[in-house]
């Protein structure tokens, strides 16, 4: 069984990996575009936590929204989404670089 992820531990990972611009904690800042959002909110039985992605103009991509009963579950999911976003960004850069390289050899 793994140790539950805490916000300070996730913040340390975010800082170490340079993801400060990719993560948005709505209880600390306003929503931004192209980020993974962590949103605590009140529910009938207490607090729940949502994690989702935003697109340009901070439009919420509802299909990515997941709700968690525990903060640690939401933090784990946020870390997963940040990792996936980084991999997608790297693939995009690699594809872009390959496309430019191919264009210069035509």
In a domain, 39, yes or no: yes
Number of compact structural domains in the chain: 1
Q: What's the pLDDT at 79?
A: 97
As a whole number, mean pLDDT of residues 61-76 equals 97
Domain that holds residue 53: 7-104
In a domain, 2, yes or no: no
Q: Where residue 99 falls among pLDDT bands split at 50, 70, 90? A: very low
In a domain, 1, yes or no: no
Instruction: Please report where in the chains the tokens 């850069």 appear, as a residue.
Output: 93
In this predicted structure, the answer to whether residue 101 has a pLDDT above a threshold of 80 is no
In a domain, 18, yes or no: yes
In a domain, 85, yes or no: yes
In a domain, 95, yes or no: yes
In tens, the pLDDT along 19-42 reads 999 999 999 999 999 999 999 999
- Residue 76 CA to residue 37 CA, distance in Å, equals 13
CB hemisphere CA count around 22 (13 angstroms): 21
The DSSP 8-state label assigned to residue 17 in this structure reads H
Q: Where residue 94 falls among pLDDT bands split at 50, 70, 90? A: low
In a domain, 83, yes or no: yes
């Amino acid at each position: 069984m793994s140790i539950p992820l805490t916000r300070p531990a996730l913040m340390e990972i975010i800082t170490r990996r340079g993801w400060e611009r990719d993560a948005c904690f709505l209880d600390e800042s306003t929503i931004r575009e192209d980020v993974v959002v962590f949103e605590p909110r009140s529910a009938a039985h207490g607090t729940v936590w949502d994690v989702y992605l935003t697109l340009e103009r901070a439009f919420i991509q509802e299909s990515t929204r997941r709700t968690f009963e525990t903060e640690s579950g939401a933090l784990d999911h946020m870390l997963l989404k940040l990792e996936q976003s980084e991999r997608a960004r790297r693939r995009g850069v690699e594809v872009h670089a390959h496309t430019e390289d191919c264009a210069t050899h035509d």
